[in-house]
Amino acid sequence: MLKKGLYIVLLALVLVLVSCTTDKTEPTEPTEPTEGSEPTEVLIEKEIKSISGLEDIVITEGVYFHPLRDVVIKNESDENISYLFEVSGQVNYGVPGTYTLNYQLTYGEDVIDETRIVTVNAGTIMAEPVSRNQLQNQPTLLGDG
3-class DSSP assignment, residue 18: helix
Which CATH number is associated with domain 48-121? 2.60.40.10
Specify the pLDDT at position 45: 83
Whether this prediction's pTM lies above 0.85 is answered by no
> What is the average pLDDT value for the chain, to the nearest integer?
81
pLDDT per residue as tens digits for the range 66-87: 999 999 999 988 999 999 999 9
3-class DSSP assignment, residue 85: coil
Please tell me the distance from the alpha carbon of residue 64 to that of residue 118, in angstroms, as a whole number: 12
- The more confidently predicted of residues 58 and 33 is 58
Phi-psi category of 135—alpha, beta or left, where left has phi over 0 and alpha has psi -120 to 50?
Answer: alpha
With a CB cutoff of 8 Å and minimum separation 6, the contacts of 39 are 33
Task: pLDDT band for 27, please (50, 70, 90 cuts).
Answer: low
Task: Classify burial at 5, counting beta carbons within 10 Å of its beta carbon; exposed 0-12, middle 13-18, buried 19 or more.
Answer: exposed
Please tell me the distance from the alpha carbon of residue 63 to that of residue 73, in angstroms, as a whole number: 24
Task: Please count the other Cβ atoms lying within 10 Å of the Cβ belonging to residue 105.
Answer: 18
Specify the pLDDT at position 74: 93
- The more confidently predicted of residues 32 and 109 is 109
Domain residue ranges of the chain, discontinuous segments joined by +: 48-121
Specify the pLDDT at position 66: 93
Mean pLDDT of 115-133: 84
